[in-house]
Chains A and B, each alone.
Chain A
Amino acid sequence: MHIKGVDIDHVRIKPPLGGVPWEGVRMARRQRLLLAALAIAAIGMAASAGWADGPAPPTNVVAKDRPWDVGGAVVVSWTSPTTPVESFQILRLMDAAEVKQANRDARVAAASDAAAAVRERLSAEGVAPEDVQLQAREAAQAAAATLLSEQEATAGEPRWTPVAVALGSQTSVVVDRLSDDFPGGYRFQVVAIASDGTRSIPAETTVAVTPSRQPFDGGRLWLAIITVVLCGAVLTFIAAARRGMPLKIRKIAGLAAVDEAVGRATEMGRPVLFIPGTQDMNEIQTLAGITVLSRVGKTAAEYDAQVEVPTSRSLVMTAARETMHAAYLQAGRPDAFNPDLVYYVTDEQFGFVAYLSGMMVREKPAACFYMGAFFAESLILAETGNSVGAIQIAGTAQPAQLPFFVAACDYTLIGEEFFAASAYLSGEPDQLGSLKGQDVGKLIVAGLMVVGCLIATAASITGSEMLEGILSYLKNTMLT
């Protein structure tokens, strides 16, 4: 047997200090085996002695693929020992590639640390930078080589890496961030840790497990149920509205004022400015804004007013043009439509604001509509519009921008009112039915809120574990 060119049969074993020299003793194979057996026994006894002070190990350690998930996770469960346990540590067996990578990372870290230490020491001593660099490199190489020899010595031994920690009261834990094609499957160990830090003998899974992706993501089951109920309610009321069910919708001042604003602009002979937000067509608020534009465009066509639609996205420009064209057609005045009034400015937020502010100050529009997704530009636009004396109507679903619009505009469509605009303005039974469906959603939300508040209050007063569990399920499973 050779280790780095050294024949182990001829190694001189040095005696303890002051002992009888054993030089020249050549061990027979049997003696060597005996010595190795003794060493292993001694290590085992020492280890047993250490574990004997620790808690008893957990039993029945089982790892199973987590059901109804997207893969990459397994559930490790165990039976707690009878002795008190502070926590459990869960370890996973690494495969050869992982060990190789971990070894490489360790060598890199060791080399880096060694080089840094040398650099710090030599720089403090005033050594020339070139020499510092040279010696740091040598130190890094030496550290990496030393670690490599240690790693080679332990090569082939199973290596376990900690992957999770569980409380002493837990009997299972989810281990995620795993691969669905791990060679040979994953094996786990669970170690019980007592309050004084002593550890039990590791208990190991007997069967390897490989996580797999399921056909349905169970974590989203409640979302699916809520979606189906909400969509079902909307569809039911649309169908009911089609059958002639009478539907009422409360008056929304901001939408009722659309005709007034366009009429005012017509009287004053000034243009109407319509800004469909600063986001692209994949933003639902932009879509809702374009819907309002359709009505504004139709009214403007009827009144012969001029509507200017600057956009910050090219796709919004094309969609807005189509909408305006159709609105003018509906009003019976297709010849009055000027596509150049729907134009692209820039994607840049403050570039867009700069253009609009300048344009408002120069052209002084009589009415300004801000319908869509807005961010920091909301107040700049609304205040500029206010300063030129325009009647202003805003609608957005950005809660942070609503106070600015409320402060600076004459009318503001708050959140859901903005999305109701389409139904309100069209007055079609189909669309009004969808609003009724929304009300069912509100009822469900209100019911859940009342139930949740009651359970939370009762759990807080009684300290009941069952109520805490229900509350936790409501918060962490149903609503997550």
Chain B
Amino acid sequence: MKRLIPLWITAVSGILLIVAYFIPAWESWGEKATIWFDVLAASAFVLGGGNLLKLHLRKVSNRQAGWAYSAVTVAAFVVTLTVGLAKIGVHPSDNNPDFAWSGSYNSSGTAFWWLYEYAFKPLTATMFSLLAFYVASAAFRAFRAKNIEATLLLGTAFIVLLGRTFAGVFLTQWLPESLSGLKLENLTVWIMQVPNTAGTRAIMIGVALGIASTSLKVLLGVDRSYLGSD
């Protein structure tokens, strides 16, 4: 029963939503299903928050390795939650100026906004900026000319990288108009528009068919591993 009911819910709702896509009168059902999912996901967030607190408090309590990170996590969680729920520093909204807490919790100048702007955003930007270094190290490894394929990759990457810089334009500017297709900037555009697009589309077609097949397997109950059974 524990498996059968979710399978039926999945099958009926999934098939109905597919049919609804083709019937204008039912088209809004898809949007409603999305809203239901959002409600469900929002409720499940309580589970996630509870799990986060439980695990990290246990780590702090047991003084496990790296417990200090857990302490920082718990402190950040509690402070942000309190600041957001208590609407600390919120100004009255224009519509309800007589009510102190009528403004939005994340409007400019509030404590939550301050935390977001001056603590959260710089931290996420720091993580994102690491990408630049990782791209360099990954490219160094990927572009080693170990065999013919890797050498082709290296050559292509070299053209594309150079073609997108001023140096690339400068290097091949002497080519006559009849050979303009060989200018690095034009070669780059051709590589990106023709071979690269062809490869990407081939992957996309495979992905689309894979998604259709996987969806069908899930709807028909052929694949039940997401429910915890084969």
Q: Considering the chains assembled together, what is the distance between the CA atoms of A414 and B204 in angstroms?
A: 10
Q: How far is the CA of A428 from the CA of B227 in the complex (A)?
A: 17
Q: Which of B18-26, B92-100, B107-115, B173-181 contacts A (4 or more CB under 8 A)?
A: B18-26
Of the candidates B69, B137, B200, B207, the one having the most CB atoms from chain A within 10 angstroms of its own CB is B207
- Contact (Cβ within 8 A) B41 A315: yes
Q: Does B212 contact A (CB under 8 A)?
A: yes
A357 contact set on B, CB distance < 8 A: 127
- Complex CA gap A351/B216 in Å reads 34
The residues of B that contact A290 with a CB separation of less than 8 Å are: 225-226
B48 near A319: Cβ-Cβ < 8 Å:
no
Q: B166 on the interface (CB 8 Å rule)?
A: no
Nearest CB of B to A431, in Å: 6
C-alpha spacing A434/B192, complex, angstroms: 34
Which of B41, B55, B230 gathers most chain A CB within 10 Å? B230
Q: Are A317 and B51 in contact (CB under 8 A)?
A: yes
**Given A294-B230, A317-B48, A362-B66; A379-B203 close (CB under 8 Å):** no
A445 contacts the other chain (CB 8 A):
yes
Q: Specify the chain B residue showing the minimal Cβ separation from A291.
A: B225
Question: How far, in angstroms, from A216 to B200 measured CA to CA in the complex?
Answer: 33
**Which residue of chain A has its CB nearest to the CB of B139?**
A407
Q: Which residues of A contact B206 (CB under 8 A)?
A: 414-416, 442
Q: Which of chain B's residues 197-230 have a Cβ closer than 8 Å to chain A?
A: 200, 203-207, 209-218, 220, 222-223, 225-230
In the bound complex, residues from chain A placing their C-beta under 8 Å from that of B49 are 314, 344
What residue in chain A is nearest B19 (Cβ atoms)?
Answer: A224
Partner of B37 from the list A282, A343, A346 (CB cut-off 8 Å) is A282
Is B134 within 8 A of A220, CB to CB? Answer: no
Main secondary structure of the interface of B (DSSP, over half): helix
Shortest distance in angstroms between A314's beta carbon and chain B's nearest beta carbon?
3
B52 interfacial by beta-carbon distance below 8 Å: yes
A323 (CB) vs chain B CBs: closest residue: B228
CA–CA, A238 and B217, complex, Å: 10
A71 to chain B, nearest CB (A): 7
Q: Report if A213-B41 is in contact (Cβ < 8 Å); known contacts: A284-B215, A383-B138, A407-B139.
A: no
Number of interface residues of B (CB under 8 A): 62
Question: B212 contacts A441, CB within 8 Å?
Answer: yes
Q: Contact check, B214 vs A422: say whether CB atoms are below 8 A apart.
A: yes
Chain B CB count within 10 A is highest, among A230, A397, A437, for A397
Residue numbers in A under 8 Å from B130 (CB-CB):
380
B218 touches A287 (CB 8 A): yes
Q: Are B24 and A70 in contact (CB under 8 A)?
A: yes
* Nearest CB of B to A443, in Å: 11
CB atoms of B124 and A434 under 8 A apart: no
Q: Is the CB of B229 within 8 A of A383?
A: no
How far apart sit A329 and B66, CA to CA, in the bound complex (Å)? 32
What separation, in Å, do the CA atoms of A346 and B124 have in the docked complex?
13
Chain B residues lying within 8 Å of A435, measured Cβ to Cβ, are 213
Contacts of B170 in A (CB 8 A): none
How many A-B contacts if CB must be within 8 Å? Answer: 199
A85 CA / B54 CA spacing, docked (Å): 76
Does B148 count as interface, using CB distance less than 8 angstroms? no
Contact residues in A for B167 (Cβ distance below 8 Å): none
Q: Does A430 contact B (CB under 8 A)?
A: yes
Flag whether A280 is at the interface (Cβ < 8 A): yes
Q: Tell me the bound Cα distance from A344 to B22 in angstroms.
A: 37
Q: Are B211 and A431 in contact, with the CB atoms below 8 A?
A: no
Contact A414 B227 (CB under 8 A): no
Given A323-B226, A379-B135, A415-B203, CB of A217 within 8 Å of CB of B23? yes
Q: Say whether B41 contacts A314, CB under 8 Å.
A: yes
Q: Indicate which residue in B47, B66, B211, B228 contacts A419 across the interface (CB closer than 8 Å).
A: B211
Q: Which residues of the partner chain B approach A408 to less than 8 Å between Cβ atoms?
A: 134, 138, 141
In the bound complex, do residue B226 and residue A291 qualify as a contact, i.e. CB atoms below 8 Å apart?
yes
Chain B CB within 8 A of A198 CB:
no
Question: Is B229 touching A326 in the complex (CB atoms < 8 A)?
Answer: yes
A284→B214 contact, CB < 8 A = yes
What is the chain A residue whose CB lies nearest that of B66?
A: A362
- Most chain B beta-carbon neighbours within 10 Å: one of A327, A344, A348, A357: A344
Cβ of B40 within 8 Å of any chain A Cβ, yes or no, is yes
| Contact among A323, A344, A420 for B51, CB-based, below 8 A | A344
A420 contact set on B, CB distance < 8 A: 210
Are B25 and A414 touching (Cβ within 8 A)?
A: no
Q: How far is the CA of A406 from the CA of B34 in the complex (A)?
A: 33
Given contacts A291-B223, A418-B210, contact A70 B131 (CB under 8 A): no
Residues of chain B lying within 8 A (CB to CB) of residue A362: 65-66
Chain A nearest CB from B204 CB (Å) reads 6
The reply on B45 being an interface residue by CB < 8 A is yes
Which residues of chain A from 370 to 422 have any CB-CB distance to chain B below 8 Å in the complex? 376, 379-380, 382-383, 397, 399, 402-404, 406-408, 414-416, 418-420, 422
Q: How far is the CA of A234 from the CA of B217 in the complex (A)?
A: 9
Q: Which residues of B contact A217 (CB under 8 A)?
A: 22-24, 27
Interface residues of A (CB under 8 A from B): 69-71, 213-217, 220, 223-224, 227, 230-231, 234-235, 238, 280-282, 284, 287-288, 290-291, 294, 313-315, 317-319, 322-323, 325-327, 330, 340, 343-351, 353-354, 357-358, 362, 376, 379-380, 382-383, 397, 399, 402-404, 406-408, 414-416, 418-420, 422, 426, 428, 430-431, 434-435, 437-438, 441-442, 445
Q: 19 A-B Cβ contacts within 8 A?
A: A224-B22, A234-B217, A313-B44, A318-B44, A350-B124, A351-B124, A354-B127, A379-B135, A380-B130, A383-B134, A397-B211, A399-B204, A402-B203, A418-B210, A419-B207, A422-B214, A438-B212, A442-B205, A442-B209
Q: Which residues of B contact A (CB under 8 A)?
A: 18, 21-25, 27, 34, 37, 40-41, 44-49, 51-52, 55, 65-66, 69, 120, 123-124, 127-128, 130-131, 134-135, 137-139, 141-142, 200, 203-207, 209-218, 220, 222-223, 225-230
The 10 closest A-B pairs by CB, nearest first: A419-B210, A314-B48, A326-B228, A416-B206, A322-B228, A344-B48, A314-B44, A407-B142, A350-B124, A70-B24
Given contacts A317-B47, A419-B210, A442-B205, 20 further A-B contacts (CB under 8 A): A214-B24, A234-B213, A313-B44, A318-B44, A323-B225, A326-B228, A343-B55, A348-B124, A358-B69, A380-B127, A380-B134, A383-B138, A399-B207, A407-B139, A415-B210, A419-B213, A426-B230, A438-B209, A438-B210, A441-B212
